[in-house]
A and B are shown apart, each in its own frame.
Chain A
């Protein structure tokens, strides 16, 4: 990911697009932003941890405490919302 993404203001659309592209590359399947990745069997609970690390490294955030729960990684939309929330909290 580019430096711009970690320093400049990110739109929800940009995060969603980047996540959709990451998933398409890693699981070789196109997914919808509101698709439940776990329920559909597309990703395993093991892969969920890779999603955590990916978001932390890409957006320079720490996902800890109550934010570290599977529901926050269930859909691309949920992950996008999480990234925004954690970044906003860090900036506050």
Chain B
């Protein structure tokens, strides 16, 4: 998601300092961002004639120190998020908006990891961020009104519309969506229907623009499994326990669009 959000920001003229764990990851990220910017231009989702924001890449978290907003978009594993959020919180100045692009982990849980929990807010960007205008904004118990106003203004500057909800593990979208994708994968596992048929039914009968399994491929099946575990561990809901078919795909490295194969085969060009 980091490359998605970066594409959106620089496409709207906002400079970005992108941090990742290795130079190789950053080289790959630059390549992906370049392709995503082209995809966004192709679809006309970026403002025409806007000068692209500068993209700086680094492997050092210290380089975010002067940013006015920091968006954390690391994997959906609490320990990983805690490590990054704690470190960033200690580096940035008071008044810096700290956003977590969490898809399931509770904002209130994260509040304990940062120096100024009133400046922490959740923003669940959709994928691809530069195509989907609506975002789910999560107000933690300690998030201040000033922080909420700042983030809604920033999102508006990025051409996004915000819908604000209160904190809950999985929030609104993924408490609904993730068990749906997991159940869709179970149906394929059980031989009840193929991926195409499951998606075809939800698209054709229920009006979903993208079926659950294509959506899972877009999210990334590894990220989906991580998020399902967060939901299952927090709520004990059996429909959130990743099914065997899903776990097997992840184990085999079939992670969806980003690896070229998931429930569907995407050919040689990742998109």
Contact = CB atoms under 8 A, between A and B. Distances in A.
Is this pair of chains taken from one and the same complex? yes
A70 B44 contact: yes
Contacts of B269: 49-50, 53-54
B199 to A, nearest CB: 12
Interface in A40-83: 44-50, 52-54, 68-70, 73
B249 to A, nearest CB: 19
Interface in B34-73: 35, 38-39, 41-44
A26 interface: yes
Contacts, number: 36
Q: Main SS of the interface on chain A?
A: helix
Contacts of A73: 42
Contacts of A69: 41-42, 44
Interface residues of B, number: 13
Interface of B: 35, 38-39, 41-44, 131, 210, 257, 267, 269, 271
30 contacts: A26-B267, A45-B39, A45-B42, A45-B43, A46-B39, A46-B257, A46-B271, A47-B271, A48-B39, A48-B42, A49-B35, A49-B38, A49-B39, A49-B42, A49-B269, A50-B267, A50-B269, A50-B271, A52-B38, A52-B42, A53-B269, A68-B41, A68-B42, A69-B41, A69-B42, A69-B44, A70-B42, A70-B43, A70-B44, A73-B42
